[in-house]
Amino acid sequence: MDILCAEKLGLSYGDAYIFENMDVAIPQGKITVFIGSNGCGKSTLLRSLARLLKPQQGSVILDGEQIAEMKTKDIARKLAILPQGPVAPEGLTVLQLVKQGRYPYQTWLKQWSPEDEQAVDRALVSTKMKELKGRTVDSLSGGQRQRAWIAMTLAQETPVILLDEPTTYLDLTHQIEVLDLLYDLNRSEQRTIVMVLHDINLACRYADHIVAIKNGGIEATGHPAAVINAELMEKVFDLRCHIIPDPIFGTPLCIPHGKGGLHKPLKETVSINNQMISQ
Protein backbone atom coordinates (compact mmCIF):
# COMPACT_ATOMS: atom_id res chain seq x y z
CA MET A 1 0.00 0.00 0.00
CA ASP A 2 1.29 3.49 -0.90
CA ILE A 3 0.74 6.25 1.66
CA LEU A 4 2.26 9.02 -0.46
CA CYS A 5 2.52 9.27 -4.23
CA ALA A 6 2.97 11.68 -7.11
CA GLU A 7 1.13 11.33 -10.39
CA LYS A 8 2.25 13.00 -13.65
CA LEU A 9 4.14 15.51 -11.52
CA GLY A 10 5.96 18.37 -13.19
CA LEU A 11 7.94 21.21 -11.65
CA SER A 12 10.12 23.89 -13.19
CA TYR A 13 12.29 26.81 -12.19
CA GLY A 14 11.51 29.47 -14.77
CA ASP A 15 11.37 27.85 -18.20
CA ALA A 16 13.54 24.88 -17.20
CA TYR A 17 11.69 21.75 -16.08
CA ILE A 18 13.36 19.90 -13.23
CA PHE A 19 11.03 16.97 -13.87
CA GLU A 20 7.79 16.37 -15.72
CA ASN A 21 5.22 13.58 -15.96
CA MET A 22 6.85 11.88 -12.99
CA ASP A 23 5.10 9.04 -11.17
CA VAL A 24 6.51 7.90 -7.84
CA ALA A 25 4.98 5.89 -4.99
CA ILE A 26 6.14 5.70 -1.37
CA PRO A 27 5.26 2.37 0.29
CA GLN A 28 3.62 2.64 3.69
CA GLY A 29 5.62 1.64 6.76
CA LYS A 30 8.90 1.31 4.85
CA ILE A 31 12.16 3.27 4.59
CA THR A 32 12.47 4.82 1.14
CA VAL A 33 15.71 6.48 0.01
CA PHE A 34 16.12 8.80 -2.98
CA ILE A 35 19.52 8.49 -4.66
CA GLY A 36 21.03 10.26 -7.65
CA SER A 37 23.79 12.64 -8.69
CA ASN A 38 23.94 16.27 -7.59
CA GLY A 39 21.29 18.41 -9.26
CA CYS A 40 19.15 15.50 -10.46
CA GLY A 41 16.05 16.65 -8.55
CA LYS A 42 16.10 14.53 -5.36
CA SER A 43 15.54 17.40 -2.94
CA THR A 44 13.11 19.10 -5.32
CA LEU A 45 10.99 15.96 -5.43
CA LEU A 46 11.09 15.62 -1.64
CA ARG A 47 9.97 19.23 -1.18
CA SER A 48 7.21 18.76 -3.74
CA LEU A 49 5.89 15.74 -1.84
CA ALA A 50 5.65 17.93 1.26
CA ARG A 51 3.86 20.75 -0.62
CA LEU A 52 6.77 23.12 -0.05
CA LEU A 53 7.00 23.53 -3.82
CA LYS A 54 3.93 23.91 -6.01
CA PRO A 55 4.02 21.72 -9.13
CA GLN A 56 3.12 23.08 -12.55
CA GLN A 57 1.32 19.87 -13.39
CA GLY A 58 0.15 16.65 -11.81
CA SER A 59 -0.73 15.96 -8.21
CA VAL A 60 0.55 14.64 -4.89
CA ILE A 61 -1.71 12.31 -2.93
CA LEU A 62 -1.22 11.88 0.82
CA ASP A 63 -3.16 9.10 2.54
CA GLY A 64 -5.78 9.16 -0.21
CA GLU A 65 -6.24 12.96 -0.33
CA GLN A 66 -5.00 15.55 -2.82
CA ILE A 67 -2.35 17.39 -0.83
CA ALA A 68 -3.02 20.64 -2.72
CA GLU A 69 -6.56 20.68 -1.33
CA MET A 70 -5.64 19.91 2.28
CA LYS A 71 -5.33 22.49 5.05
CA THR A 72 -1.78 23.16 6.19
CA LYS A 73 -2.39 21.93 9.73
CA ASP A 74 -4.04 18.75 8.42
CA ILE A 75 -0.92 18.05 6.35
CA ALA A 76 1.31 18.76 9.35
CA ARG A 77 -0.56 16.12 11.36
CA LYS A 78 0.17 13.49 8.71
CA LEU A 79 3.55 14.50 7.30
CA ALA A 80 6.68 16.07 8.80
CA ILE A 81 9.69 17.27 6.84
CA LEU A 82 13.21 18.00 8.07
CA PRO A 83 15.04 20.11 5.48
CA GLN A 84 18.77 20.05 4.91
CA GLY A 85 20.80 22.10 7.38
CA PRO A 86 18.02 23.61 9.51
CA VAL A 87 19.06 26.52 11.76
CA ALA A 88 17.52 27.30 15.14
CA PRO A 89 17.30 30.85 16.55
CA GLU A 90 20.22 31.69 18.83
CA GLY A 91 19.60 30.72 22.44
CA LEU A 92 16.73 28.31 21.70
CA THR A 93 16.88 25.28 23.97
CA VAL A 94 16.36 21.69 22.87
CA LEU A 95 13.08 21.54 24.80
CA GLN A 96 11.81 24.73 23.16
CA LEU A 97 12.73 23.37 19.74
CA VAL A 98 11.04 20.03 20.27
CA LYS A 99 7.89 21.76 21.52
CA GLN A 100 7.60 23.41 18.10
CA GLY A 101 6.62 19.99 16.77
CA ARG A 102 3.28 20.31 18.58
CA TYR A 103 2.27 23.44 16.67
CA PRO A 104 -0.18 21.57 14.36
CA TYR A 105 -2.22 20.55 17.40
CA GLN A 106 -2.53 24.03 18.94
CA THR A 107 -5.67 26.14 18.48
CA TRP A 108 -7.19 29.14 20.20
CA LEU A 109 -9.46 26.77 22.09
CA LYS A 110 -6.90 24.03 22.72
CA GLN A 111 -3.60 25.24 24.10
CA TRP A 112 -0.77 23.13 25.58
CA SER A 113 -2.13 19.87 26.94
CA PRO A 114 -0.93 16.77 28.80
CA GLU A 115 -0.96 14.96 25.43
CA ASP A 116 1.46 17.55 24.06
CA GLU A 117 3.72 17.12 27.09
CA GLN A 118 3.74 13.36 26.67
CA ALA A 119 4.52 13.59 22.95
CA VAL A 120 7.49 15.88 23.61
CA ASP A 121 8.76 13.60 26.38
CA ARG A 122 8.50 10.52 24.14
CA ALA A 123 10.41 12.31 21.38
CA LEU A 124 13.19 13.33 23.77
CA VAL A 125 13.48 9.80 25.14
CA SER A 126 13.47 8.17 21.67
CA THR A 127 16.29 10.41 20.48
CA LYS A 128 18.25 10.20 23.77
CA MET A 129 17.99 13.97 24.17
CA LYS A 130 16.12 14.19 27.47
CA GLU A 131 19.25 14.90 29.51
CA LEU A 132 20.18 17.65 27.05
CA LYS A 133 16.76 19.34 26.89
CA GLY A 134 18.01 22.39 28.80
CA ARG A 135 20.99 22.94 26.49
CA THR A 136 20.82 25.49 23.70
CA VAL A 137 20.70 23.97 20.23
CA ASP A 138 23.69 25.99 19.03
CA SER A 139 25.85 24.54 21.84
CA LEU A 140 25.36 20.93 20.72
CA SER A 141 27.62 18.76 18.61
CA GLY A 142 26.58 18.02 15.03
CA GLY A 143 25.11 14.63 15.89
CA GLN A 144 23.29 15.95 18.95
CA ARG A 145 21.89 18.88 16.97
CA GLN A 146 20.55 16.57 14.29
CA ARG A 147 18.94 14.37 16.93
CA ALA A 148 17.30 17.46 18.43
CA TRP A 149 15.74 18.34 15.07
CA ILE A 150 14.61 14.75 14.59
CA ALA A 151 13.06 14.89 18.06
CA MET A 152 11.04 17.90 16.92
CA THR A 153 9.72 15.95 13.92
CA LEU A 154 8.91 12.97 16.18
CA ALA A 155 6.95 15.22 18.53
CA GLN A 156 4.79 16.09 15.54
CA GLU A 157 3.63 12.44 15.65
CA THR A 158 3.05 12.05 11.93
CA PRO A 159 2.88 8.68 10.16
CA VAL A 160 5.21 10.03 7.41
CA ILE A 161 8.59 11.71 7.93
CA LEU A 162 10.64 13.22 5.09
CA LEU A 163 14.32 14.05 5.63
CA ASP A 164 16.61 15.85 3.19
CA GLU A 165 20.16 14.53 3.62
CA PRO A 166 19.92 14.00 7.41
CA THR A 167 23.57 12.84 7.60
CA THR A 168 25.15 15.81 5.79
CA TYR A 169 28.22 17.25 7.60
CA LEU A 170 28.21 14.42 10.14
CA ASP A 171 31.17 12.10 10.71
CA LEU A 172 30.63 8.40 10.13
CA THR A 173 29.87 7.62 13.77
CA HIS A 174 27.12 10.22 13.92
CA GLN A 175 25.80 9.20 10.49
CA ILE A 176 25.26 5.67 11.78
CA GLU A 177 23.77 7.03 15.01
CA VAL A 178 21.17 9.08 13.14
CA LEU A 179 20.33 6.32 10.64
CA ASP A 180 20.04 3.73 13.41
CA LEU A 181 17.61 6.05 15.20
CA LEU A 182 15.45 6.35 12.09
CA TYR A 183 15.66 2.59 11.46
CA ASP A 184 14.53 1.82 15.03
CA LEU A 185 11.72 4.35 14.73
CA ASN A 186 10.51 2.72 11.53
CA ARG A 187 10.68 -0.80 12.90
CA SER A 188 9.13 -0.06 16.30
CA GLU A 189 6.41 2.38 15.24
CA GLN A 190 6.00 1.58 11.52
CA ARG A 191 6.55 5.24 10.62
CA THR A 192 7.06 5.75 6.88
CA ILE A 193 10.52 7.28 6.40
CA VAL A 194 11.62 8.99 3.17
CA MET A 195 15.21 10.24 2.93
CA VAL A 196 17.61 11.76 0.46
CA LEU A 197 21.06 10.18 0.94
CA HIS A 198 24.32 10.59 -0.96
CA ASP A 199 26.10 7.55 0.45
CA ILE A 200 25.02 4.62 -1.72
CA ASN A 201 26.29 1.98 0.67
CA LEU A 202 24.38 3.43 3.62
CA ALA A 203 21.31 3.84 1.42
CA CYS A 204 21.47 0.14 0.54
CA ARG A 205 21.98 -0.85 4.17
CA TYR A 206 19.02 1.06 5.58
CA ALA A 207 16.48 1.28 2.74
CA ASP A 208 13.61 -1.09 2.08
CA HIS A 209 12.89 0.80 -1.12
CA ILE A 210 15.25 2.74 -3.42
CA VAL A 211 14.22 5.44 -5.88
CA ALA A 212 17.06 6.18 -8.34
CA ILE A 213 16.66 9.56 -10.04
CA LYS A 214 18.47 10.74 -13.17
CA ASN A 215 18.00 14.11 -14.86
CA GLY A 216 14.59 14.66 -13.33
CA GLY A 217 13.26 11.20 -14.12
CA ILE A 218 12.93 7.89 -12.30
CA GLU A 219 15.57 5.47 -13.55
CA ALA A 220 14.67 2.56 -11.24
CA THR A 221 12.71 1.74 -8.08
CA GLY A 222 12.63 -1.27 -5.80
CA HIS A 223 14.51 -3.14 -3.10
CA PRO A 224 18.25 -2.29 -3.04
CA ALA A 225 19.23 -5.85 -3.97
CA ALA A 226 17.03 -5.66 -7.07
CA VAL A 227 17.97 -2.11 -8.10
CA ILE A 228 21.64 -1.46 -7.33
CA ASN A 229 24.06 -2.92 -9.87
CA ALA A 230 27.08 -1.73 -11.83
CA GLU A 231 25.00 -0.83 -14.88
CA LEU A 232 22.63 1.39 -12.88
CA MET A 233 25.54 3.12 -11.13
CA GLU A 234 27.10 3.98 -14.46
CA LYS A 235 23.79 5.27 -15.83
CA VAL A 236 22.80 7.33 -12.81
CA PHE A 237 26.16 8.50 -11.49
CA ASP A 238 28.44 8.04 -14.51
CA LEU A 239 30.51 5.87 -12.19
CA ARG A 240 32.28 2.64 -13.04
CA CYS A 241 32.30 0.31 -10.06
CA HIS A 242 31.99 -3.21 -8.74
CA ILE A 243 28.97 -4.22 -6.65
CA ILE A 244 29.66 -6.90 -4.05
CA PRO A 245 27.68 -8.13 -1.02
CA ASP A 246 28.29 -6.16 2.17
CA PRO A 247 30.30 -8.59 4.36
CA ILE A 248 28.16 -7.78 7.42
CA PHE A 249 24.63 -7.23 6.09
CA GLY A 250 24.71 -8.78 2.62
CA THR A 251 23.31 -5.60 1.06
CA PRO A 252 24.85 -4.21 -2.15
CA LEU A 253 28.25 -2.61 -1.54
CA CYS A 254 29.64 -0.23 -4.16
CA ILE A 255 33.39 -0.38 -4.81
CA PRO A 256 34.17 2.52 -7.18
CA HIS A 257 36.91 2.34 -9.80
CA GLY A 258 39.55 5.03 -9.64
CA LYS A 259 43.25 5.71 -9.51
CA GLY A 260 43.77 5.58 -5.77
CA GLY A 261 45.74 2.50 -4.70
CA LEU A 262 46.90 1.63 -8.22
CA HIS A 263 50.54 2.11 -7.26
CA LYS A 264 52.62 -0.99 -6.57
CA PRO A 265 51.74 -2.16 -3.04
CA LEU A 266 54.49 -1.89 -0.45
CA LYS A 267 55.29 -4.67 1.96
CA GLU A 268 54.49 -3.62 5.47
CA THR A 269 54.19 -5.23 8.86
CA VAL A 270 50.93 -5.02 10.80
CA SER A 271 50.00 -6.19 14.26
CA ILE A 272 46.95 -8.41 14.66
CA ASN A 273 46.24 -9.76 18.15
CA ASN A 274 49.77 -8.78 19.15
CA GLN A 275 51.28 -10.94 16.40
CA MET A 276 53.45 -9.28 13.78
CA ILE A 277 52.38 -10.25 10.26
CA SER A 278 54.18 -9.22 7.06
CA GLN A 279 51.94 -8.10 4.18
- Residue 170's pLDDT is what? 84
Q: Tell which wins on pLDDT, 6 or 143.
A: 6
pLDDT band at 269 (very low <50, low <70, confident <90, very high): low
- Residue 279's pLDDT is what? 47
- Residue 271's pLDDT is what? 54
pLDDT band at 278 (very low <50, low <70, confident <90, very high): very low
pLDDT band at 89 (very low <50, low <70, confident <90, very high): confident
CB of 53 closer than 8 Å to CB of 47: yes
Query: What's the chain's average pLDDT?
Result: 88
| E-only strand ranges, the chain | 2-13, 16-27, 31-35, 57-62, 65-66, 79-82, 160-164, 192-196, 209-214, 217-222, 241-245, 252-256, 269-272, 275-278
User: CA 230 to CA 242: how far, in whole Å?
Assistant: 6
